């Protein structure tokens, strides 16, 4: 199936896609805040500027979009046009994600990756976050 958008329309659409403050990220941040956690956003002292960081705990949370990071779930698909471009792009994104997580680990940071599709089950998301972070109050 051919792309139904003109190049100008496609460009305008892609320009609206944000790097930060995405809907999945806001869901996780609101949940963490309601649970009593306090955190830094886009923390520049960790490789890759993680979406959410807990400097005192040396832990960070990355929230990945299923499409852009090729998760493999129902939200993730390869576009039917320019498939070779998209496959290469998704591979580069995954390689970068792996490299940045290794770099953060080398500096003593633990990383939890939350996928966009996982933000729909709040109970499971709450359990994963509290298991990873521990008590909201540091002793």
Q: CB–CB of 74/65 below 8 Å?
A: no
Low-confidence ranges of the chain (pLDDT < 50): 1, 139
Judge: domain 19-133, CATH 3.40.50.300.
no
**Per-residue confidence (pLDDT) for residue 139, from 0 to 100:** 37
pLDDT (tens digit, 9 = 90+) per residue, 62-83? 999 898 888 888 877 888 888 8
Write down the pTM of the prediction.
0.82
pLDDT at site 76: 78
Q: 55: how many CB neighbours lie within 10 A of its CB?
A: 13
Q: Where are the domains of the chain?
A: 19-133
User: What pLDDT is attached to residue 75?
Assistant: 78
DSSP strands (E only) in the chain = 40-41, 52-54, 59-64, 110-115
Instruction: Give the per-residue pLDDT at 51.
Output: 93
pLDDT at site 138 = 66
């Amino acid at each position: 199936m051919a792309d139904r958008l003109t190049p100008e329309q496609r460009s305008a659409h892609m320009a609206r896609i944000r790097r930060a403050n995405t809907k999945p990220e806001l869901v996780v941040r609101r949940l963490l805040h309601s649970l009593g956690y306090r955190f830094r956003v886009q923390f520049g002292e960790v490789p890759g500027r993680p979406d959410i960081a807990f400097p005192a705990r040396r832990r960070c949370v990355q929230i990945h979009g299923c499409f852009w990071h090729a998760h493999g779930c129902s939200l993730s698909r390869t576009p039917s046009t320019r498939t070779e471009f998209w496959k290469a792009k998704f591979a580069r994104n995954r390689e970068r994600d792996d490299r940045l997580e290794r770099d953060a680990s080398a500096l003593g940071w633990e990383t939890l990756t939350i996928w966009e599709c996982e933000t729909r089950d709040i109970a499971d998301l709450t359990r994963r976050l509290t298991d990873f972070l521990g008590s909201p109050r540091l002793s």
